[in-house]
């Protein structure tokens, strides 16, 4: 039951949108940021398709920029639609956290 990959799928996109909202970033940097926040089990291969899907759905946009270390990097930023989606995610996430916390803290279930 404690399959973290299933839980991760439901929240990873929202977390990616939040990180990108806070700062424009490119793929590998985003991967490093997510690992720093504790998403140890994600891979670059997990992140790349999510970024493609978020861009295809109009939630993020990309821009190629020069890199001091070689080829150009694709930097991602949030669109207006992405900002709205992030607000909806935030509301839904907080509702879920509150509900789960209520269940966990309910001593009648023990």
List pLDDT tens digits, range 5-27: 767 777 999 999 999 999 999 99
Whether pLDDT at 2 is above 60:
no
In this prediction, residue 108 has a pLDDT band, given cuts at 50, 70 and 90, of low
Q: What is the mean pLDDT of the chain?
A: 90
Distance between CA atoms of residues 6 and 110, nearest Å: 26
Question: What is the C-alpha to C-alpha distance for residues 68 and 11, in angstroms, rounded to an integer?
Answer: 33
pTM as predicted: 0.86
In the prediction, which pLDDT does 56 show? Answer: 97
Per the document, the length of the chain is 110
> Between 3.40.50.150, 1.10.10.10, 2.60.40.10, 1.10.510.10, what CATH number should domain 7-109 receive?
1.10.10.10
């Amino acid at each position: 039951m404690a399959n973290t990959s299933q839980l991760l799928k439901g929240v990873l996109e929202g977390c990616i949108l939040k990180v990108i909202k806070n700062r424009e970033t490119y793929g590998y940097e985003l991967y490093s940021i997510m690992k720093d926040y504790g998403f140890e089990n994600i891979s670059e291969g997990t992140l790349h398709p999510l970024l493609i899907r978020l861009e295809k759905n109009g939630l993020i946009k990309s821009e190629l920029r020069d890199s001091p270390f070689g080829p150009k990097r694709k930097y991602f930023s949030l669109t207006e639609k992405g900002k709205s989606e992030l607000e909806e995610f935030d509301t839904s996430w907080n509702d879920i956290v509150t509900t789960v916390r209520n269940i966990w803290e309910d001593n009648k279930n023990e």
